[in-house]
Structure 1
Amino acid sequence: MNSSLEKNRLVLSKEKHISFKNSLLEIWNQLEIPKDSEESWRKFPIGSVDWKELQFDPKEISTTNTSAAKENKDSTLDEETIESILADILKYTPKEYFAFLSLVTAPKYEIFLLEEGESFFSFAEEGDKPNHTVRIFYLQKGRTNKTQIQLQNIHDSENLHMCSALDFFISEDSSYLEILDMETSDLDLYRFRNICILSHSDSHTKYHYYPIGGFRSKLFLDAHLLGKGAEVTVDGVSALGGRNLKDLDMEMFHHADFTTSKISYKAIVTDKSHHIFTGNLIIPPNLKKVTAHQESFNLSLNKKARAEANPKLEVLAEDVSCTHGATVGDIDEEQYFYLLSRGLTPEESKSLLVTAFYGETIHSIGFSEEIKLSLESRIREILVGAK
């Protein structure tokens, strides 16, 4: 397993970086910080954010300050491939403020060439000042890779702060990519994150998302099934405590025939936390043999906690198979009392039912038992003492 960020890592040159940023300016200059009235932000209190407290001034954003990074000459990516990746970024990055904020303010763009086998990447975000990043994970044609990502925010003060990130996962033809994304945030962080998945012909991409902590976070995940036979599966678990708010928007865009997608996401809320999940399937006219499914399951452990599920379908083709489902509820009382009747304590009964709720999702991922147990431990830490 490769734990070195330098191996097969490419950073765009300053000249290429600035040139690409200049190609974004026409779109960027039309974007503004979103308003509460916008559909995607109606549940996120964007209008009440104190940007000054976050040390962020949207009127003083530099689009030219780029670090003097040098390309890694040991990379096996040729110039044509790099230009193709940049073209994909320009084409598929959503016209969303924080996605483009990352593109125009990130001091560097990092491209990670994924090798055959397994990879491990650890990224640390440090300090109070706004942090903006762009990362591209690229899997070449016909290869198989499992990638584990640990994204951790390191923050010592009690000041509110923010970060924005744009992450691309690109799977070329006939490849298999499985990503385990473990995101850890401190309790004072506003996190704005955009994830784009590009799956080409006969490729299969699995993305597992496990976010922990944070104060307020907004995630946009856009998956594009670009070629015949492409498959994309997205799943994960959110475990929220305190006053944590997580707002997730996930969309599957089918661009070709014989494509398959699935979103299956779970959330557990306690204390006064709030979780919002919005899923959307987009299938344009004239496509055939498309299969798409989405489901959202939500468990509340406290009457003051909130969980919402908003499934959407935009299906304009006829030769498709699409399903969706969503549940929001408390612990099943019948199961709870059954466990009590078998001699378990209330705490043991509750723990067993909660573990069963998220355990199936964790144990379906294609990583080691050690990693799965670590995920269970992360979630259990959030839920310990939940009432």
Structure 2
Amino acid sequence: MNSLLNRQQFTIDPKKRNQFCRSLIQTWEGLSLPTEKEESYRKFPISGLDWKELGFDPKEKKTKIEDFSNSVEKDLVSETILDDIFVLLQQYLPKDYFSYLSVLQSPGIEFYICEDGLVTPIDSSLGDEPKFSFRIFYVPKGKFSQIHLKTQTNHNSDSLHLKSGIDVFISDKDSHVEILDEENYDEDLVQFRTVLLLSKENTSVKYHHFPFGGFRSKLLLHSHLLGNGAEVTVDGVSALGKRNLKDLDMEMHHHADHTTSKITYKAIVTDRSHHVFTGNLIIPPNLKKVVAHQESFNLSLNKKARAEANPKLEVLAEDVSCTHGATVGDIDEEQYFYLLSRGLSPEESKSLLVTAFYGETIHTIGFNEEVKLDLESSIHTILVGGK
């Protein structure tokens, strides 16, 4: 699939990459492995992870920085744009251990230029060794792009394995981008992931997140609305089964007037799975005409499954419109018995109600019908079995 990217994909000049990494070293040396005492990790059992099994020693703070006499290939984006991007990253890269680890341990920076109507599906697979990745997706000024990240892991041994990555999406002025982020992971994966959305003036960003599988997953999503008129919408569906744990932190940082953000996230849990959603809307003083909404809907299909929602607001400005809400519950009994009364079997009734719960989110995606049907099939299989 990478052939579809053609000339729009390249690895940033190693000398530039090394220069950027060196600028992070001082901060990196002051970071330590998080514990459950920290707010962002209070629900994630990080102290129970066997790092030896994962093949990683968090006490060894290594960085992959080497000297290169020549560039391996010519960058396809101007040096000025790259410099601006690195300045943004230095300012907004979350000061989180795994965010910095992903940058400094990755073998290189994968860079994608996302132009008009370009769909960029990305496939990757893992073995037993820990993997670290750092990708930047840049939407040029005035362009429209659709980005499809489709990540899959394969693992054959009985031990757990580790993946730590950061994906940065930068929308330049007057651009529009829709991102479909689909994760299909094996049952032995422990993942730490950062998603960073940086939106300039008059941009429109839609980010759809659909994570499936894995053993333990921690996601930090930080969205920064940097310019007047920026709009960011985040939605998605987590479908969890078996003993899967997913812990999601999603933050919307408003930095400019006339900005709009919305988070609408759904989780469906069954078996012994556990889902944690924490959302935060951050609006500093003196901003005007800001609209921000946050919603979390959670459906449990098993008494042993757990879903938690933690909505937060940090609103210090007055000329704003902000709302938040969260629900956690089982299948509606009245709706269930109504369907039974209309002649549907218990399995058909349950399937119909579950499909209705997540279907609205899928229908808002602007990708083709085949992609939507694949998503529906993945969720359906995890929750109620194959069709």
Shorter-chain TM band: over 0.9
Q: Which residue of 1 aligns with 2:202?
A: 202
Aligned mates of 2:385, 2:151 — CA distance in 1 = 26
State the Cα RMSD in Å: 1.6
Q: Which residue of 1 aligns with 2:295?
A: 295
Amino acid at match of 2:248: L
Q: Which residue of 1 aligns with 2:341?
A: 341
Residue 157 (structure 1) shift: 1.3
Residue 10 (structure 1) shift: 2.6
Residue 144 (structure 1) shift: 0.7
Residue 149 (structure 1) shift: 1.1
1:146 aligns with 2:122: no
Residue 100 (structure 1) shift: 0.2
**Partner SS state of residue 373, structure 1:** helix
Amino acid at match of 2:355: T
1:122 aligns with 2:122: yes
Aligned mates of 2:334, 2:88 — CA distance in 1 = 51
Residue 72 (structure 1) shift: 4.1
Q: Which residue of 2 aligns with 1:258?
A: 258
Q: Deviations over 1:170-195 (max 9, x none)?
A: 10111100000001111000010000
Q: Deviations over 1:188-218 (max 9, x none)?
A: 0001000000111000000000000000000
Q: Which residue of 2 aligns with 1:73?
A: 74
Q: Which residue of 2 aligns with 1:158?
A: 158
Residue 284 (structure 1) shift: 0.1
Would you say the 8 A contact 1:148–1:180 is kept in 2? yes
Would you say the 8 A contact 1:3–1:121 is kept in 2? no
Residue 354 (structure 1) shift: 0.2
Between 322-331 and 53-62, the greater mean CA deviation after superposition: 53-62
Q: Which residue of 2 aligns with 1:366?
A: 366
1:36 aligns with 2:44: no
Q: Which residue of 2 aligns with 1:247?
A: 247
**Partner SS state of residue 4, structure 2:** coil
Would you say the 8 A contact 1:134–1:165 is kept in 2? yes
> Per the alignment, do residues 52 and 41 of structure 1 end up closer, same or farther by CA in structure 2, a change over 3 Å counting?
same
Q: Which residue of 2 aligns with 1:221?
A: 221
Aligned mates of 2:349, 2:50 — CA distance in 1 = 42
Residue 12 (structure 1) shift: 2.0
**Partner SS state of residue 154, structure 1:** coil
Q: Deviations over 1:234-289 (max 9, x none)?
A: 00000000000000000000000000000000000000000000000000000000
Q: Which runs of 5+ in 1 are unaligned?
A: none
Aligned mates of 1:158, 1:2 — CA distance in 2 = 30
**Partner SS state of residue 44, structure 1:** coil
**Partner SS state of residue 125, structure 1:** coil
TM-score (norm. length: structure 1): 0.96
**Partner SS state of residue 121, structure 2:** strand
Aligned mates of 2:187, 2:271 — CA distance in 1 = 14
> Per the alignment, do residues 2 and 277 of structure 1 end up closer, same or farther by CA in structure 2, a change over 3 Å counting?
same
Amino acid at match of 1:144: F
Amino acid at match of 1:116: D
> Per the alignment, do residues 60 and 269 of structure 1 end up closer, same or farther by CA in structure 2, a change over 3 Å counting?
same
> Per the alignment, do residues 70 and 346 of structure 1 end up closer, same or farther by CA in structure 2, a change over 3 Å counting?
farther
Q: Equivalent pairs: percent with the same residue?
A: 61
Aligned mates of 1:116, 1:184 — CA distance in 2 = 27
Q: Which runs of 5+ in 2 are unaligned?
A: none
TM-score (norm. length: structure 2): 0.96
Would you say the 8 A contact 1:61–1:105 is kept in 2? no
Aligned residues: 385
> Per the alignment, do residues 66 and 158 of structure 1 end up closer, same or farther by CA in structure 2, a change over 3 Å counting?
farther
Would you say the 8 A contact 2:12–2:75 is kept in 1? no
**Partner SS state of residue 24, structure 2:** helix
**Partner SS state of residue 196, structure 1:** strand
1:1-387 alignment to 2 at 5 Å?
A: 3-65=3-65, 70=71, 72-73=73-74, 75=76, 77-385=77-385
**Partner SS state of residue 233, structure 2:** strand
**Partner SS state of residue 128, structure 1:** coil
Q: Deviations over 1:1-24 (max 9, x none)?
A: 985345212312222222211111
Between 376-385 and 172-181, the greater mean CA deviation after superposition: 376-385
Residue 71 (structure 1) shift: 5.2
Residue 232 (structure 1) shift: 0.2
**Partner SS state of residue 122, structure 2:** strand
